[in-house]
């Protein structure tokens, strides 16, 4: 759990940067605007991101340049769930669920009728300017909440060893606000909130020069010829950036004793309307959209034969669009015929789940199971013709008076053949046992079987992803000469059998939590390199999504010791080993090992910490990757808190420095590590007022 002052001091503009450095969690970065957390070697879609127990719907799992639509500046806490607690959210929580806890739907009437906080911050490394405000007011049984944040940051500093003191196009601006209200009783609450987020951020190292790349069988060709043209042309020296807008409506309810036999009822309803444009200079070359209706209903039953548990159902209906389209800036040509527009990818998912737990003396047992039924189908784009009279006359001669209908039917048939409807019915289950041996010591063992259906990109990719300098083909694509493509995409279901062993000690001077894990994965879906094309001078990878067996194993955790009532030292670290079974290659973007220490001290209203960790070199990398060197990271925080009244009223001044050694560091977990190094030295000055 990351909360309180630690969250306030660590939070950045993105979720990945905020969580980076926690044991077992690394960063998949893309400049200053998009950063995704990597947990035990994996990021989305093998991590489910939640908003107070409800799925957070954006397009961050589609490409690493897509931001996770949350503003850490407005969060109360961040918790990582594993084992049975994560299984209830489905197969995408294979490596855990990150629950973002906020206050946009109030759960209680504030004491005294009014609470709130304001914060301002300035960062030297990117000229960050941040303003945050939130307030909750109570009127009888009703509570109203409003919050907002505005953050503006220029290109961030990098060490001169990179060849420049700034990372071009790493700027990031964002605005978020939310308005919510709840009806609150002694037994629970029912409320709703509207949230809007706008963001504009650069794509470092982006190049459109490979927009002409196409394939001939297993050969990637990056030269214009025949019908294959460069959709951009012109100079490649301007900025490329993403302009994002997300609107979301949440309805949340928690209530005790609503139905006979059930101790608690929980409701989570949401509607998400997400859009972002990818802009190259003055041209909008792509647009991603995601419209999602989601409902989740849970009933926690009274004790039954000693067991307490929760039965739930979830229904999701979504329509996504954006992949395989990089030419929206080009109008439909004259004298042509064919599809005009983008296909929509519709997904309907129904899931049911059950979670049960019981204590047998010192032994706590918990089990969970979830079954899903998912259908994904591709909508055919509109078809049009702008052919002239001479060509139209020939078509009449060849196909008859209804030549347009004939040609459209042929195109639609081919489209549906290349984009089939796919159904998956994944099943996931987990059981855990925790032995509390006394004096704060505990030993926990969990076993899990998780099934994950491939994502929309893994299934249907067919074209250039300019952000990652790659041409990608999904599982449904037929690739002449490529082995292991005879299995239907509908038969590929990523299946993970995992075992986790955790040692834990709480209370007293010594505290620790150390976890060991092992995952055996069948039909692990990943992008396999076919070739790298250097024809344009900018390397472009030809990647084909395929499935192979894989294995993950590792350790992560931390050990802390209270040296004195006012000081504590913590040692932390993590390591992941990942291999492709039966193949002479490694999995891409696996984080290297890391080991560090943190010292914390407080003296009345003054608190501080000093943190150092070493991220080691990654010498085990995939065929199309390169070795990533290790680096040292030193961070420090100093804060002074002044109480200004009764209760929680206070003013806090803080300063936090990151990468104080100003080391040139690259994240091996990033698709674009060489074009997007981590931030150089930066110092953030902040003031937070709570009332």
* Residue 203 pLDDT exceeds 80: yes
The share of the chain scoring above pLDDT 90, in percent, equals: 86
* Residue 381 pLDDT exceeds 70: yes
Give the separation between CA 116 and CA 111, rounded to whole angstroms: 11
**pLDDT per residue as tens digits for the range 512-552:** 999 999 999 999 999 999 999 999 888 999 999 999 999 99
pLDDT band at 208 (very low <50, low <70, confident <90, very high): confident
**pLDDT per residue as tens digits for the range 505-515:** 999 999 999 99
Is 2-690 in CATH node 3.40.50.300? no
The pLDDT of 329-337, averaged and rounded, is 91
The pLDDT of 552-558, averaged and rounded, is 98
* Residue 484 pLDDT exceeds 70: no
Write down the pLDDT at residue 491.
83
Give the separation between CA 665 and CA 357, rounded to whole angstroms: 44
pLDDT band at 298 (very low <50, low <70, confident <90, very high): very high
**pLDDT per residue as tens digits for the range 606-655:** 999 999 999 999 999 998 899 999 999 999 999 999 998 777 789 999 99
* Residue 290 pLDDT exceeds 60: yes
The share of the chain scoring above pLDDT 70, in percent, equals: 99
- DSSP characters for 168-180? TT--EEEEEEEEE
Write down the pLDDT at residue 481.
66
Write down the pLDDT at residue 305.
92
Write down the pLDDT at residue 479.
75
Distance, C-alpha 77 to centroid of its chain: 17
- CB under 8 Å to 213, separation ≥6 — which residues? 220, 221, 222, 464, 471, 533, 540
Q: Which single residue is written with the structure tokens 């107070």? A: 52
Nearest to 516 by CA among 503, 497, 505, 528: 503
Nearest to 98 by CA among 66, 41, 51: 51
pLDDT band at 233 (very low <50, low <70, confident <90, very high): confident
Give the separation between CA 674 and CA 628, rounded to whole angstroms: 9
* Residue 248 pLDDT exceeds 70: yes
Q: Are 105 and 193 in contact (CB under 8 A)?
A: yes
Ranges assigned E (strand) in 565-681: 567-580, 594-603, 606-615, 631-643, 650-658
Calculate the average pLDDT of the chain: 94
pTM, entire model: 0.94
**pLDDT per residue as tens digits for the range 408-459:** 999 999 999 999 999 999 999 999 999 999 999 999 999 999 999 999 999 9
Q: What is the 3-state secondary structure (H, E, C) of 314-336?
A: EEEEEEEECCCCCCCCCCCCCCC
Q: Are 279 and 243 in contact (CB under 8 A)?
A: yes
pLDDT band at 329 (very low <50, low <70, confident <90, very high): confident
pLDDT band at 483 (very low <50, low <70, confident <90, very high): low
pLDDT band at 128 (very low <50, low <70, confident <90, very high): very high
């Amino acid at each position: 759990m990351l909360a309180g002052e630690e969250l306030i001091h660590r939070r950045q503009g993105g979720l990945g940067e905020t969580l980076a450095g926690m044991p077992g969690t690394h960063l998949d970065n893309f400049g200053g605007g998009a950063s995704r957390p990597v947990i035990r070697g994996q990021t989305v879609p093998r991590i489910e991101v939640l908003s107070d127990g409800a799925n957070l719907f954006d397009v961050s799992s589609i490409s690493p340049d897509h931001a996770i639509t949350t503003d850490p500046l407005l969060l109360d806490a961040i918790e990582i769930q594993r084992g049975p607690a994560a299984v209830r959210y489905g197969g995408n929580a294979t490596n855990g669920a990150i629950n973002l806890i906020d206050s946009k739907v109030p759960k209680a009437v504030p004491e005294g009728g009014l609470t709130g906080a304001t914060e301002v911050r300035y960062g030297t490394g990117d000229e960050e300017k941040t303003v945050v405000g939130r307030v909750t007011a109570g009127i009888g049984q009703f509570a109203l909440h409003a919050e907002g944040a505005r953050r503006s940051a220029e290109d961030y500093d990098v060490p001169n060893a990179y060849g420049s003191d700034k990372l071009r196009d790493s700027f990031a601006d964002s605005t978020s606000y939310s308005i919510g209200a709840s009806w609150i009783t002694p037994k629970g609450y029912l409320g709703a909130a509207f949230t809007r987020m706008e963001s504009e951020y650069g794509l470092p190292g982006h190049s459109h020069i490979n927009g002409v790349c196409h394939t001939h069988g297993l050969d990637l060709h990056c030269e214009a010829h025949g019908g294959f043209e460069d959709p951009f042309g012109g100079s490649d020296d301007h900025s490329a950036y993403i302009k994002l807008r997300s609107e979301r409506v949440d309805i949340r309810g928690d209530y005790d004793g609503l139905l006979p036999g059930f101790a608690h009822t929980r409701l989570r309803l949401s509607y998400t309307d997400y859009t972002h444009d990818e802009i190259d200079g003055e041209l909008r070359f792509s647009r991603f959209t995601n419209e999602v209706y989601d409902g989740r209903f849970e009933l926690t039953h009274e004790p039954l034969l000693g067991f307490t548990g929760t039965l739930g159902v979830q229904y999701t209906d979504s329509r996504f669009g954006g992949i395989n389209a990089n030419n929206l800036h080009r109008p439909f040509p004259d004298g042509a015929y064919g599809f005009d527009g983008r296909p929509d990818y519709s997904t309907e998912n129904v899931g049911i789940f059950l979670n049960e737990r019981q204590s047998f003396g010192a032994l706590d047992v918990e089990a969970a199971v979830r079954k899903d039924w998912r259908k994904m189908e591709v909508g055919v784009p509109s078809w049009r013709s702008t052919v002239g009279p001479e060509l139209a006359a020939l078509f009449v001669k060849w196909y008859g008076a209804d030549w347009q209908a004939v040609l459209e039917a042929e195109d639609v048939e081919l489209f549906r053949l290349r984009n089939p409807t796919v159904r998956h019915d994944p099943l996931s289950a987990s059981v855990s046992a925790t032995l509390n041996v006394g004096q704060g010591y505990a030993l926990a063992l969990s076993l899990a079987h998780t099934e994950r259906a491939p994502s929309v990109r893994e299934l249907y990719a067919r074209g250039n992803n300019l952000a990652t300098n790659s041409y990608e083909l999904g599982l449904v694509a037929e690739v002449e000469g490529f082995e292991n493509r005879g299995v239907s995409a509908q038969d590929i279901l990523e299946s993970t059998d995992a075992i986790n062993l955790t040692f834990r000690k709480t209370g007293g001077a010594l505290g620790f939590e150390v976890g060991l894990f092992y995952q055996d994965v069948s039909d692990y879906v990943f992008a396999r390199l076919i070739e790298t094309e250097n024809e344009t001078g900018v390397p472009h990878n030809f990647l084909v999504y395929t499935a192979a067996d894989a294995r993950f194993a590792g350790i992560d955790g931390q050990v802390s010791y209270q040296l004195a009532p006012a000081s504590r030292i913590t040692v932390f670290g993590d390591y992941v080993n990942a291999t492709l079974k039966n193949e002479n290659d490694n999995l891409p973007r696996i984080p290297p090992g890391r080991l560090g220490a943190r010292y914390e001290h407080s003296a009345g209203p003054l608190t501080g910490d000093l943190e150092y960790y070493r991220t080691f070199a990654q010498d085990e990398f995939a065929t199309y990757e390169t070795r990533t060197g290790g680096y040292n990271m030193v961070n420090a925080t100093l804060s002074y808190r002044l109480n200004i009244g009764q209760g929680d009223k206070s003013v806090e001044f803080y300063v936090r420095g990151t990468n104080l050694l100003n080391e040139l560091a690259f994240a091996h977990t990033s698709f674009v590590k060489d074009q997007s190094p981590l931030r150089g030295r930066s110092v953030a000055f902040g003031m937070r007022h709570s009332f």
